[in-house]
């Protein structure tokens, strides 16, 4: 490892997990290879699983696009397309009939979703008012009105119903027309066809002085379909995703300091180097560094840390944090879509949009549904017409089949659960980076923990400097500052506080899992594990690091540490659920065994090298185990990558966070055990939703084909199936 790399590690880590978590998303995004290349498009007209499949398929086929993931909850698509811009991709989406706009994450808000909700409510009000008036007119017909009187009431009903259906049904008609124009059969096509058939047969009956018209049924059908869509919108709004909650932390404008005074500007207009004033009680608008002032910063919503952090010049701030007590002047380092908050939002949104096994299954089923629905409706019409020679009855049955078989519930089965689960875990301080992690987490039966920085806080303190001779301290400081290990950091802090200055070293290199070495005046000096320096740890229960100066025996340095909050509760809960728990650590056996005994962990292994941890995970997987690895160090990276699913604390090294699937934002370890339970329940909810969708169709479709369900009954049944699936998902909250 180069000197520059080691210095970089020293700069990037701090003793406080909250301080180190602020630039978390930037590091993850950089390590993943430039998330800034992503193009985000708003898709205001998508509403179902078919829409997701269509958009992802057409974008993935476009040259230059590596991946495209649609988030139905947020109605947007994130496109991994280096070198392409929004104007290159918008025509691709519009070519299949979907409206698309470039989305600036710095200006995200819930206003578009709110407008959609208000629009649906307005159409519900219009259709409800028209429905009541038509029902009053229908009373006379049902009471026995004949001839001219009946025809008059039918004509008046038609005059009310036809404009109402055209207006209130516009969301269904517009979506269906876009789909048909581009050769697709979306979920709104059968609904629109049913509305048109119900209205057309009513006009036919009225023109020919028929005894029965169905204007009331057409308007009621539209009314209940809109209610179903609005309730679906509201239940998904209740299941606010983690990405939406992060978006809620964004500040729309900031006070930029200029020669003329403070100027209120949109956050998107801020540039690196700008000075902004942050008043007490205000939220930090962008990433930056304090230039003037002192205060306290509340980072609880981003990191889970409930204790405010003292703020002084030089402290790095992250967008979304709250300035509590004093005015601050901050120099901007990143704003808008480059801020850590925007990157966190993008990571969570990408995780919610990922395609797991169940999502793929639902997508394939939805794709088969549309042609099957129309074929079934046509066969129903043909069968009833041949059997009865009554076109009106045949059309009614076909319309009922078209509506009742709409696969809305199937399309919502997985996204509703993933959104609710990810939102709950985010509120507990768990940031899911990989959308398939939730699915894999449900399969975990074995949990492997690292010790230092995972089960313990990873902020040890040197017991005493007395063991280090004064002449050896500059060399010890130079070694300690070059390492990212928590024990080395604690030693460096103690030496700096004692007034020590580092000595020059050559050939500085860190050996993961063992320690750090360099050369001074032609002799090798080392700081690290006992066995690496030819020493023995003994029976001491304190963690220790050893210093070798190339002459004389190694010097023992002892450190004290404390358990991470929630560690005991987490391990106890895992064991009570029957999961196997192991502790793998590179520390000495007495220290590891003492911690394992305190936590009730029966299986522990000490002195394990980085490759040894990965091999242990590999051996467990060979036994058929699904392993969750929880670790934070450079020596845990291989094991994190090898595990079935992995979690790292926010205070972990960049390499560990990059290799992990989930990041624990706070210091409390208890949410790890909770995450396993939420994942298990999520899998159960998904299966239940599939069962609800299947059971609904098994029961409802034969009723419709048999002519026992009117179009109105079909609309009620379809709406109830979608709502029941979403409400079942909300049980996770």
Catalytic residue numbers read 450
Question: By three-state DSSP, how is residue 580 classified?
Answer: strand
Place of tokens 């790399």: 5
Residue 150 CA to residue 144 CA, distance in Å, equals 8
Contacts (Cβ under 8 Å, ≥6 apart) of 691: none
* Angle, CA of 532, 537 and 541, to the nearest 5°: 135
| Consecutive H or E run containing 559 | strand 555-560
If we measure between CA atoms, which residue out of 96, 107, 110 comes closest to residue 57? 96
Q: Is 329 exposed, middle or buried (0-12, 13-18, 19+ CB in 10 A)?
A: middle
Residue 515 CA to residue 528 CA, distance in Å, equals 4
The answer to whether 79 and 65 have CB atoms below 8 angstroms apart is yes
If we measure between CA atoms, which residue out of 466, 16, 408, 486 comes closest to residue 187? 408
Task: Count other Cβ atoms within 10 Å, centred on residue 548.
Answer: 22
Task: Count other Cβ atoms within 10 Å, centred on residue 105.
Answer: 24
370 to 21, 180, 406, 463, 707: CA distances (angstroms): 47, 12, 8, 70, 21
Contacts (Cβ under 8 Å, ≥6 apart) of 538: 588, 590
Contacts (Cβ under 8 Å, ≥6 apart) of 639: 448, 450, 584, 610, 613, 614, 616, 617, 629, 631, 646
Instruction: Give the sign of the dihedral formed by CA 10, CA 617, CA 418, CA 36.
Output: positive
If we measure between CA atoms, which residue out of 583, 593, 592 comes closest to residue 616? 583
Conformational region of residue 552, where left means phi above 0, alpha means psi within -120 to 50, and beta covers everything else: left
Residue 450 CA to residue 72 CA, distance in Å, equals 37
How does 234-246 read in b/e, with b if 16+ C-beta sit within 10 Å? ebbeebbbbbbbb
Task: Count other Cβ atoms within 10 Å, centred on residue 310.
Answer: 12
- Alpha carbon 36 to chain centroid distance? 18
The answer to whether 636 and 629 have CB atoms below 8 angstroms apart is yes
């Amino acid at each position: 490892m180069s000197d520059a790399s080691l210095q970089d590690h020293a700069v990037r880590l701090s003793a406080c997990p909250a301080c180190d978590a602020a630039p978390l998303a930037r590091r993850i995004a950089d390590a993943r290879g430039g998330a800034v290349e992503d193009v985000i498009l708003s898709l205001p007209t998508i509403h179902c699983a078919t829409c997701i499949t269509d958009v992802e398929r057409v974008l993935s086929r476009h040259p230059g696009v590596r991946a495209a993931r649609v988030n139905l909850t947020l109605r947007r698509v994130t496109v991994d397309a280096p070198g392409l811009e929004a104007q290159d991709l918008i025509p691709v989406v519009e070519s299949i009939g979907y409206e698309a706009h470039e989305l600036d994450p710095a200006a995200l808000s819930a206003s578009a979703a709110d407008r959609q909700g208000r629009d649906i409510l307005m159409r519900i009000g219009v259709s409800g008012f028209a429905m009541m008036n038509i029902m009053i007119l229908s009373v006379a017909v049902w009471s026995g009105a004949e001839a001219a009187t009946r025809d008059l009431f039918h004509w008046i009903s038609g005059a009310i119903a036809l404009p109402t259906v055209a207006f209130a049904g516009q969301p269904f008609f517009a979506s269906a027309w876009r789909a048909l124009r581009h050769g697709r059969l979306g979920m709104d096509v059968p609904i629109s066809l049913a509305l048109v058939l119900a209205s057309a047969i009513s006009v036919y009956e009225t023109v020919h002085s028929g005894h029965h018209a169905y204007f009331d049924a057409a308007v009621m059908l539209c009314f209940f379909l809109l209610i179903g869509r609005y309730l679906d919108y509201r239940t998904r709004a209740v299941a606010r995703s983690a990405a939406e909650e992060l978006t809620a932390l964004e500040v729309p404008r900031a006070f930029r300091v200029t020669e003329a005074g403070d100027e209120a500007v949109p956050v998107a207009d801020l540039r690196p180097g700008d000075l902004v004033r942050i008043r007490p009680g205000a939220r930090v608008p962008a990433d930056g560094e304090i230039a003037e002032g002192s205060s306290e910063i509340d980072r609880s919503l981003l990191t889970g840390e409930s204790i405010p952090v003292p703020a002084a010049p030089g402290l790095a701030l992250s967008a979304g944090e709250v300035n509590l007590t004093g005015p601050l002047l901050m120099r901007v380092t990143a704003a808008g879509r480059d801020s850590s908050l925007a990157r966190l939002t993008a990571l969570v949104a990408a995780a919610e949009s990922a395609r797991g096994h169940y999502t793929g299954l639902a997508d394939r089923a939805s794709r088969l549904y549309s042609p099957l629905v129309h074929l079934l409706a046509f066969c129903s019409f043909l069968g009833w017409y041949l059997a009865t020679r009554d076109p009106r009855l045949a059309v009614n049955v076909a319309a009922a089949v078209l509506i009742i078989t709409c696969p809305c519930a199937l399309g919502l089965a997985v996204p509703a659960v993933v959104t609710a689960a990810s939102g709950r875990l985010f509120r507990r301080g768990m940031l899911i980076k990989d959308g398939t992690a939730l699915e894999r987490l449900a399969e975990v039966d074995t949990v492997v923990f690292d010790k230092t920085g995972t089960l313990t806080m990873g902020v040890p303190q040197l017991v005493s400097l007395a063991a280090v001779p004064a002449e050896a301290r500059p060399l010890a400081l130079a070694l300690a500052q070059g390492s990212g290990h928590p024990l080395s950091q604690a030693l460096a802090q103690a030496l700096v506080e004692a007034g020590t200055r580092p000595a020059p070293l050559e050939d500085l290199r860190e050996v993961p899992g063992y320690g750090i070495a360099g050369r001074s005046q032609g002799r090798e000096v080392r700081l690290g594990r006992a066995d690496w320096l030819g020493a023995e740890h003994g029976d001491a229960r304190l963690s220790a690091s050893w210093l070798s100066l190339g002459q004389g025996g190694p010097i023992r340095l002892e450190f004290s540490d404390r358990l991470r909050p929630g560690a005991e509760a987490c391990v106890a809960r895992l064991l009570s659920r029957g999961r196997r728990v192991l502790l793998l650590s590179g520390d000495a056996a007495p220290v590891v065994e003492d911690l394992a005994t305190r936590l009730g962990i029966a299986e522990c292994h000490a002195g394990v090298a980085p490759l040894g941890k990965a091999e242990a995970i590999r051996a467990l997987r060979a036994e058929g185990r699904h392993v969750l690895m929880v670790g934070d160090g450079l020596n845990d990276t291989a094991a994190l990558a090898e595990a079935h699913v992995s979690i790292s604390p926010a205070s972990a090294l960049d390499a560990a966070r990059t290799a992990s699937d989930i990041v624990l934002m706070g210091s409390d370890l208890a949410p790890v055990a909770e995450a396993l339970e939420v994942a298990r329940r999520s899998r159960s909810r998904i299966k239940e939703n599939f069962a609800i969708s299947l059971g609904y169709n098994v029961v409802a479709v034969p009723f419709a084909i048999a002519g026992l369900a009117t179009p109105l009954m079909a609309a009620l049944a379809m709406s109830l199936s979608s709502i029941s699936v979403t409400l079942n998902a909300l049980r996770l909250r």
